[in-house]
Amino acid sequence: MLLIDRRGRRYMITLSPGGQSDLRGGKIGHDELLGRDAGGTVRSTRGERFLVVRPTLAEFVLEMPRGAQVIYPKDLGAILMLADVFPGARVLEAGTGSGALTMTLLRAVGPEGRVASYEVRDDFARVAERNIQRYLGSPPGLVLRRHDVYDGILPDDRPLDRIILDLPEPWRVVPSAAEALAPGGIFLAYVPTILQGMQTVDALRASGSFALLETLEVLMRPWNVDGRSVRPAHRMVAHTAFLIVGRRVQRGAAPAAIEVPADAEPPDESGEAPEDPEA
C-alpha cells in the first residue's frame, strides 16, 4: 500500500498479518489496513494521519527498490503505444534492469502473452524478480533469463512480435532482431544519448529489414493548479531518453523513402472532424 502524509510524502509498505511499519516516529499496525478498502485514512500511534491507496504501476515503479535506473512512467506509456504492445503479444525485452518495463509489458500482453526478459547481471535480475513478484505475483507469461542479448536471441524465444531494448548498444541486436521478429514486428530501443540513437538508426537502415523508422523523445510538463496559482511546475523530468522505432519488413522492401520523416505533416490531433472538400 502507499501511505501519503499531509505534505504529500509517500511511503510504500507491504502488508503482512500481525506486521507493523514505523512511519515518521509512529507505528501503524498492518491488521488495521488488511482487508480494508483503499482510499481511506489511517492514524499512526503518534496521531499522524495518512491517506491509504494501492500504488498504481507508475507509483510502484517510482517507489520500488532499484538495481538499475528504471524507465520513467511517461516513457513506459509511450513505449506501449509506439511498439503497439497488444494482448497476446510475444515480446523480448533486454535488459531486465529493475523490472519496470517488464511489469508494464506483462500487464499489456496479459495472460495469453509472453514476455522473455534477458539480463546479464545477477544482482539486478534478483531485484527485478522481487519487484515483479511484489507487484504482479507470478505472471504466467514471464520468462526471466540470465543471458547476454548481444550473443543472440535464443531459439526458444522465437518468433517474436516485439523487441524492446533498454541497454547501451542496441545496434548490436539488430541482426538477430531481423531474424527473430515476425514480419511486421516492431523493434524499439530506448537510449539516453542521440549518438546511441544515430548508431541504432544506421544499423536498422543498413540491415535492409526495417522500415518506418522513427526517432523521438517524450516531454511531460506538469502544472500546478491551486487557486489563482495556475502555472507550469517549477521542476519537470525533462530529458530521459530517445526512442528509436522500426518495423520489420521483407528485405529490400525498405527504401529510405519509406520512413516517417520528422518534419512530416503532423497528424490532426484536434479531435475535430476533417473539413469536407465537397462542402
Ligand X SMILES: C[S@@+](CC[C@H](N)C(=O)[O-])C[C@H]1O[C@@H](n2cnc3c(N)ncnc32)[C@H](O)[C@@H]1O
Instruction: Tell me the three cell numbers of residue 176.
Output: 538477430
Among positions 95, 141, 170, 185, the unique one binding ligand X when judged by CB under 6 A: 95
The piece of 14-22, 98-106, 202-210, 269-277 that touches ligand X (CB under 6 A) is 98-106
CB 110 within 8 A of CB 86: no
Choice between 57 and 216, CB closer to ligand X: 57
Find the shortest distance in angstroms from Cβ 80 to ligand X: 13
| Min separation Cβ 73 and ligand X, Å | 10
Q: Please select the residue that binds ligand X; options are 100, 180, 213, 245, rule is CB under 6 A.
A: 100
The one-character DSSP state at 180 is: H
- Residue 98 binds ligand X, judged by CB under 6 A: yes
Q: How far apart are CB 87 and ligand X at their closest, in Å? A: 21
Q: Of 41 and 69, which CB lies nearer to ligand X in the complex structure? A: 69
Q: Of 3 and 164, which CB lies nearer to ligand X in the complex structure?
A: 164
Order of strands, sheet of 49-53, starting from the edge strand that comes earlier in the sequence: 10-12, 2-4, 49-53, 41-43
Question: Closest approach of Cβ 201 to ligand X, in Å?
Answer: 19
| DSSP SS3 for 108 | helix
Q: What are phi and psi of 141, to 5 degrees?
A: -90, 10
Q: Smallest distance, Å, CB 151 to ligand X? A: 8
For residue 65, the minimal CB distance to ligand X (Å) is 11
Output 86 or 150, the one with its CB closest to ligand X: 150
By CB under 6 A, tell whether 70 contacts ligand X: yes
- Between residues 241 and 254, which has the closer beta carbon with respect to ligand X? 241
Closest C-alpha among 175, 256, 159, 264 to residue 211 = 256
Among 83, 101, 116, 180, binds ligand X (CB under 6 A): 101
Q: Which of residues 141-160 bind ligand X (CB under 6 A)?
A: 148-150
Considering only 4, 12, 42, 120, the residue that binds ligand X (CB under 6 A) is 120
Chain-centroid distance of CA 49 in Å reads 32
Size of site (CB under 6 A) for ligand X:
21
Which of helix, strand or coil describes residue 182?
A: strand
Of 28 and 163, nearer to ligand X (C-beta) is 163
Footprint of ligand X on residues 170-229 (CB under 6 A)?
Answer: none
User: Alpha-carbon distance 69 to 98, whole Å?
Assistant: 7
Helix, strand, or coil (residue 203): helix
Contacting positions for ligand X (CB under 6 A): 68-71, 94-95, 97-101, 118-121, 124, 148-150, 166-167
